Amino acid sequence: MEALRITLFGSFTVEVDETGPVHFKTRKEQELLAYLVLHRQRVHARETLASLLWSEVTTTQSRKYLRRALWRLRTALGERGVPEPEALLCIDSEHLRVSPEATAWIDVCAFEQALDAAEQQPDAAAINGLEAALALYVGDVLDGWYEDWCLYERERLRHRYVHGLQALIAAAERQGDLDRAVARSMDWVYYDTLSERAQRCLMRTRYRAGDRSGALRQYGRCVAMLRDELGVSPSAPTQALHAQILAGQQLDEQEERTMPSRSPAGIVSLLRRIEDDVHRLRAMVLAEAERLEGETEARPPMQPKSPSPY
């Protein structure tokens, strides 16, 4: 099979040997391939997948649309030099999945593998691995797609990106690489401006790097942002950090203890599962709220009942 590259961060693209993107006839082929790639560890029943992607039609119709989308997907890949879809996909009459032997490069897969590898390395090596992983995150997964099935993976990978930034900042601070710690703290604030934890991290790293005035200016930006966007004041921990910086005090270690540290693998795995479950529930609630809102808007107004003649 020709070298296949699939990117899901930011916009969805499929390329073969960097000769240009694969062109799909309709959006549904893209959705089908993106869903299979995001859930590449699972085997998918055709009926379930068809109902997910074509929920507005009957089961019979959705199965028909799935067959058509698969044919178009095979055709599009074949036109770019992928002669057999089985090189990428395992397909039978009832199930389909991404082939475990597929050699395609997938940015999401490379991102997670690099993060996992960095967690097992000492700080000096971990920094390089984390930088390489985070460079792949050029935007949220399938940015601009609003299908319900996108929500969980998008939120989960957002969480992994922020966790990776936190780990990189912590490792850089432990190595005394304060310029890097400041730069990655700025990335965190840029990505999640409303996070006071990110704001405190940037204040702290600036201060530790000798930029006391920059740390104080960052607090001012934080105050203005919270006031303008949320109508609230900074939390007690943020105000306490500001007071310490204003007084020129040495910072305590409380905030640093909330950063990622070397923990037993079992505890890290358990915490990650709990965090993933929380984000999954959040995504489900958001999806259900949007669905109910749509039903409410589409529902015709109730007509007043005519008075009973009896």
Output the pTM of the full model: 0.78
What is the average pLDDT score of the chain?
A: 85
- Of 249, 239, 157, 263, which Cα lies nearest the Cα of 212? 249
Q: Which domains does the chain have, with CATH numbers?
A: 4-54+73-103 (1.10.10), 110-257 (1.25.40.10)
- 97 within 8 A of 43, measured Cβ to Cβ: yes
Rounded to whole angstroms, the Cα distance separating 198 from 182 reads 11
Give residue-wise pLDDT tens across range 95-151: 999 998 888 899 999 999 999 999 899 999 999 999 999 999 999 999 999 888 899
Helix (H, G, I), strand (E, B) or coil at 91: strand
SS (H, E, C) 175-238: CCCHHHHHHHHHHHHHHCCCCHHHHHHHHHHHHHCCCHHHHHHHHHHHHHHHHHHHCCCCCHHH
The half-sphere exposure of 207 on its side-chain side, counting CA atoms within 13 A, is: 23
Averaged over 150-174, what is the pLDDT?
95
Q: Given a cut of 50, is residue 176 above it in pLDDT?
A: yes
Rounded to whole angstroms, the Cα distance separating 80 from 38 reads 22
The confidence band for 270, taking pLDDT boundaries of 50, 70 and 90, is very low
Angle between helical axes of 148-174 and 178-191 (0-180°, round to 10):
160
The confidence band for 271, taking pLDDT boundaries of 50, 70 and 90, is low
Residue count of the chain: 310
Provide, rounded to the nearest whole percent, the portion of the chain with pLDDT above 70: 79
Helix (H, G, I), strand (E, B) or coil at 245: helix
Q: Which tokens sit at 26?
A: 């309709």
User: Tokens 């693209």 — which residue?
Assistant: 13
The half-sphere exposure of 198 on its side-chain side, counting CA atoms within 13 A, is: 21
- 113 within 8 A of 124, measured Cβ to Cβ: no
- Of 159, 171, 84, which Cα lies nearest the Cα of 119? 171
